Amino acid sequence: GRESPARVGDVRPAEVEAVLASQAAGGFLSPEATQAILTAYGIRTPVARLARTAAEAVTWAEELGYPVALKVASPDITHKSEVGGVRLDLGSGVAVAAGFAEMVAQVERARPAAKIDGVTVQPMVAAGQEVIVGALQDPHFGPLVMFGSGGVEVEGLKDVAFALAPLTVAEAEGMLARTWAGRKLAGFRGTPPADRAAVLDVLLRVGQLAADFPQLVEMEVNPLRVLAAGKGVWAVDGRMRVALSSNHPHNDFVDVAGR
């Protein structure tokens, strides 16, 4: 039979329950809610602060430390870079203020109907390989984990593997072996080896999250930035969608503590 899935011990399902209870309507979760859920399951995300004005963006950048990245915060925009909603590596207050103004103007031209809440300010994360990790609830198979090439490559390459959640360590290893994204973590063309163990760990955590919370119908971390061996990973950007509440009355929830 199937080897039993690896259970990650240091996860905090009660925190996820609380976040989901506060987001009652269903649909896409706010970036703050998504970040809180990833954090509760031990997946590292860069600190993010919402700025409503250029001046506020500069204040956050000073506090977080340069260089910073800016991303448009809008519930209506899923792929931010396609509408000019991302600015990277801004090294000064002048650059942040200008970046804020240009970006908001560009996004408003591209998507005039979108509601813009402001701009997220984050410290720049060290360079590394980029992969995508996700999960979805399949109507026939139940929770599935997805892994493949991340960042801008994801649409073009179709380099992706799926496995049933929660995963065994062998299944997580198999997802890396079956994809170019996974194989190149060992190093390629002069790129040093990346932290493969940290990627396996995130796959197990995402699989457990998807299995523990069937009402999370879809989640995606893109990109998951994989630093050099031993340096870990960062979930640079994530999104999650929750089933509309009518499909999942609260008494259907799995008691994740197994009581």
Q: What is the pLDDT of residue 244?
A: 80
Res 259 pLDDT > 50:
no
What digits encode the pLDDT tens for the residues 145-200? 999 986 555 556 678 999 999 999 999 999 999 999 999 999 888 888 999 999 99
Distance CA 69, CA 85 (A): 11
What digits encode the pLDDT tens for the residues 203-233? 999 999 999 999 999 999 999 999 999 999 9
Q: What is the pLDDT of residue 252?
A: 41
Torsional sign, CA 243, 248, 250, 254: negative
Backbone Cα Rg of the chain: 19
Distance CA 183, CA 142 (A): 27
Res 32 pLDDT > 70:
yes
Q: What is the pTM of this model?
A: 0.78
What is the percent of the chain with per-residue pLDDT over 70, rounded to a whole number?
Answer: 90
Q: Partners of 234 in the beta sheet?
A: 225
